[in-house]
A and B are shown apart, each in its own frame.
Chain A
Amino acid sequence: MPRGAPRGADRRTGSPLVPYLFLAPYLVLFVTFVAVPAVFGLWISLHDWDYMLDSQIFVGLGNYADLFDSTSVIYPDFWNGMQNTLIFTLASVPFLVVLPLLLAMLLHQKFPGRTFFRAMFFAPYVLGVAVIGLMWRYLLDANFGLVNSALGTEIAWTTSQPWAWVGLVAVTVWWTMGFNAIIYLAGLGDIPVEHYEAASLDGANWWQKFVYVTLPGLRPVLVFIVVITVLASANMLGQSYIITQGGPTQSTQTAIMVITELGLSRFQMGAAAAESYLLALFLAVVSILNFWLMRDRDAAAQRRLVRDQRRTVREQPEVVAR
């Protein structure tokens, strides 16, 4: 038998080309719209690329230098957008991590109709940002909006700060918390019931069960939720675009709004591409930090859980309730 002759794999699939034939349709799309653009985007960012012109001027890292030069034209808008995105992310992520967990714990109870309620709380997420944006633009109207009427207030939700941020964060939480809740709910379902039973036997109250069984059991899900929620918040555009139009005075104009406006409305694609790569770099660092901060404790928590369980088996009740 010659070296490299067909072994198990080829007996199963026939020709060695077959796997590539199965992959081909996807790979054509992947190369054209993901792999090539990822590199092409970098190339664009090294040019003074203007869509309206025939030839593009190579400027090296000039666009990136401009982003750190406070006298450049693009500097103020970009960093204003970055700051606004940071504000929105810091304000929305805690709510989008905590409230869906509470909702998931509520839906994890056994009661008739829980599937129905689960579906209902997820319903807003099924709608697009254009629909929920217009709907809340109306509900938040300063003069005849239902929100002011219900709260007995006269707040200019879309045209004054900090209320514009309060409104945008609240709308985003309302819109997307069902998504995070569903992921939490699946995570809750994966925690073995025996862990809770063991804790009950040890006389743990609900808070102790939450801290010593639920949270450690959810750790991987929690990491995932934090990472994707930060990414989603940093991508915010539609809510601001429709509800506040970036106002009042550009105070809710997010980084993505600045980038798309510069690159796809004013067609200064080189500068906009540089901005998008810089923002992506920031997000990569934040995501890695998130994983790193939470993974370390994750492993430790797992070890502690295993240890606790062993001790629980040996009937040392105070360990779990520590």
Chain B
Amino acid sequence: MNRAARNPFLWLLLLLLSVVFLGPLVVMTLTSFKTTGESQAVPPTIWPGEWTSRAYDVLLSSPDNPVLRWFANSMIAATAHALLVVLVASMAGYAFARMEFKGKGALFAVVLSTMFVPGFIFLMPNFLILDSFGWLDTLLAIVVPGAAGAFGVFFMRQFFLSLPKEYEESARIDGAGPFTTFFRVVLPNAMPAMVTLLVLSFLTNWNDFVWPLYVLFNDTSLTLPIGLTKLQGAYTIDYPIIMAGAVIASLPVLLLYAFVQRYVIDGVASSGVKG
């Protein structure tokens, strides 16, 4: 064992930080199983004195707040968005990494520069563009516009640059065309990068707040984060119900994260170092 691992202060600090970072999530979950009265107790309790699933029962049977519908909306939108991003960003990233064409340098510079353009300048024009497409208040508004972001293209290009060219060259010698080479040979070797981008895109879309807040209107078309703000308005200080909604919105992303945390963290890490 090395020196750091034998330092008791290190472990004390780690324990303290664990409570700070995870404690609020634990309290949120425990509160969702409390009675309304206990959730407002002074001083507050942490462990529920009386366990009840009332919050979930109310929430899942409320016709005004179709939580399951919101859940489905979020799931469909985030999945479709992530798949779209991976497809278009892989193809474009591959072209930028491996092909020569007129205006490549300038085009890549333009695409890359938009990574530093703050997203809020697109709010008004994209609202009107989506309106003209008839996409307002539909999931298309959540799925498609975000896929125009430059991060995925940049991320996939970086990966393809690091990929050895031998596979593609031997495929070409075997007579494969560029599309066959790409889909049959290159993409199967790009799985780690594709999974990372898929997960990051899913998480971002699942959590997106400002855009869906203004382009979705009807109760049945909301995504979960926007539905949660509606719960806040409907139940004000009935916190077990609001926390139950938050738990339902957290569960898929926390589960996904638990299984693929290495991909998520590697993706985030690479965004800085090579950026």
CA distance A234 to B100 in the complex (A): 38
B247 → A minimal CB distance (Å): 9
Point out the residues of chain B lying under 8 angstroms from A129, CB to CB. 207, 209, 225
Point out the residues of chain A lying under 8 angstroms from B189, CB to CB. none
Contact A19 B17 (CB under 8 A): no
Asked if B72 CB lies within 8 Å of chain A CBs, one says: no
CA distance A179 to B172 in the complex (A): 41
Knowing A19-B101, A126-B257, the reply to whether A38 touches B121 (Cβ < 8 A) is: yes
Contact A143 B21 (CB under 8 A): no
B236 → A minimal CB distance (Å): 11
Point out the residues of chain B lying under 8 angstroms from A3, CB to CB. none
CA distance A186 to B275 in the complex (A): 12
Contact B117 A280 (CB under 8 A): yes
Contact B273 A186 (CB under 8 A): yes
Contact A123 B254 (CB under 8 A): yes
Among A14, A138, A149, contact of B177 (Cβ-Cβ < 8 Å): A14
Point out the residues of chain A lying under 8 angstroms from B18, CB to CB. 117, 120
A159 → B minimal CB distance (Å): 13
Point out the residues of chain B lying under 8 angstroms from A227, CB to CB. 116
Q: Looking across the interface, which residue of chain A has its beta carbon closest to that of B27?
A: A146
Contact A120 B122 (CB under 8 A): no
CA distance A231 to B129 in the complex (A): 25
Knowing A134-B243, A237-B210, the reply to whether A280 touches B118 (Cβ < 8 A) is: yes
Asked if B192 CB lies within 8 Å of chain A CBs, one says: no
Q: Looking across the interface, which residue of chain B has its beta carbon closest to that of A272?
A: B124
Point out the residues of chain A lying under 8 angstroms from B257, CB to CB. 119, 123, 126
Point out the residues of chain B lying under 8 angstroms from A210, CB to CB. none
Q: Looking across the interface, which residue of chain B has its beta carbon closest to that of A135?
A: B28
A125 → B minimal CB distance (Å): 8
B176 → A minimal CB distance (Å): 10
Point out the residues of chain A lying under 8 angstroms from B17, CB to CB. 103, 117, 121
Point out the residues of chain A lying under 8 angstroms from B155, CB to CB. none
Contact B207 A128 (CB under 8 A): yes
Q: Looking across the interface, which residue of chain A has its beta carbon closest to that of B231?
A: A134
B261 → A minimal CB distance (Å): 4
Scoring B18, B39, B44, B119 by chain A CB atoms within 10 A of each residue's CB, the highest score goes to B44
Knowing A34-B114, A40-B128, A121-B21, the reply to whether A264 touches B99 (Cβ < 8 A) is: no
Point out the residues of chain A lying under 8 angstroms from B43, CB to CB. 149
Asked if B161 CB lies within 8 Å of chain A CBs, one says: no
Q: Using C-beta atoms within 8 Å of the partner chain, give the interface range for chain A.
A: 35 or more
Q: Would you call the interface of chain A mostly helix, strand, loop, or mixed?
A: helix
Encoded as 1 (CB less than 8 Å from any A CB) or 0, chain B from 100 to 134 comes to 11001001001100101111111111111101000
Point out the residues of chain B lying under 8 angstroms from A16, CB to CB. 101
- A residues 136-166 near B (Cβ < 8 Å) are 136-139, 141, 143-146, 149
CA distance A182 to B263 in the complex (A): 12
A167 → B minimal CB distance (Å): 13
Encoded as 1 (CB less than 8 Å from any B CB) or 0, chain A from 34 to 77 comes to 11111011001000010100000000000000000000000000
A143 → B minimal CB distance (Å): 7
Scoring B14, B94, B125, B226 by chain A CB atoms within 10 A of each residue's CB, the highest score goes to B125
Contact A9 B100 (CB under 8 A): yes
Point out the residues of chain A lying under 8 angstroms from B126, CB to CB. 33, 37
Asked if A235 CB lies within 8 Å of chain B CBs, one says: yes
Binds B, one of A20-28, A198-206, A301-309: A20-28
Contact A144 B40 (CB under 8 A): yes
Scoring B40, B99, B131 by chain A CB atoms within 10 A of each residue's CB, the highest score goes to B99
Contact B2 A122 (CB under 8 A): no
A313 → B minimal CB distance (Å): 27
Contact B269 A183 (CB under 8 A): yes
Asked if A127 CB lies within 8 Å of chain B CBs, one says: yes
Knowing A145-B44, A287-B116, the reply to whether A221 touches B272 (Cβ < 8 A) is: yes
Among A119, A259, A287, contact of B120 (Cβ-Cβ < 8 Å): A259
Among A34, A138, A256, A277, contact of B242 (Cβ-Cβ < 8 Å): A138
Q: Looking across the interface, which residue of chain B has its beta carbon closest to that of A261?
A: B214
Binds B, one of A89-97, A105-113, A292-300, A314-322: A105-113
Contact A231 B118 (CB under 8 A): yes
Contact B2 A110 (CB under 8 A): yes
Among A106, A122, A174, contact of B261 (Cβ-Cβ < 8 Å): A122
Point out the residues of chain A lying under 8 angstroms from B31, CB to CB. 138
Among B25, B39, B123, B178, contact of A14 (Cβ-Cβ < 8 Å): B178
B150 → A minimal CB distance (Å): 8
A contact set with B: CB distance below 8 Å: 8-9, 12-14, 16, 18-20, 22-23, 25-27, 29-30, 32-38, 40-41, 44, 49, 51, 103, 106, 109-112, 115, 117-124, 126-132, 134-139, 141, 143-146, 149, 174, 178-179, 182-183, 185-187, 190, 221, 224-225, 227, 231, 234-235, 237-238, 241-242, 256, 259-260, 263-265, 269, 272-273, 276-277, 279-280, 283, 287
What would be 26 A-B contacts, judged by CB atoms less than 8 Å apart? A9-B99, A9-B101, A19-B104, A26-B92, A34-B114, A36-B125, A37-B126, A44-B125, A44-B128, A109-B4, A120-B18, A122-B264, A124-B25, A135-B28, A138-B239, A174-B20, A178-B21, A182-B268, A183-B268, A183-B272, A186-B272, A186-B273, A263-B127, A273-B124, A279-B120, A280-B118
4 more CB-based (< 8 A) A-B contacts, given A22-B91, A277-B121: A9-B101, A29-B145, A183-B271, A269-B127
In the A-B complex, the 6 residue pairs with the closest CB atoms: A128-B207, A183-B272, A9-B100, A130-B225, A37-B125, A186-B269
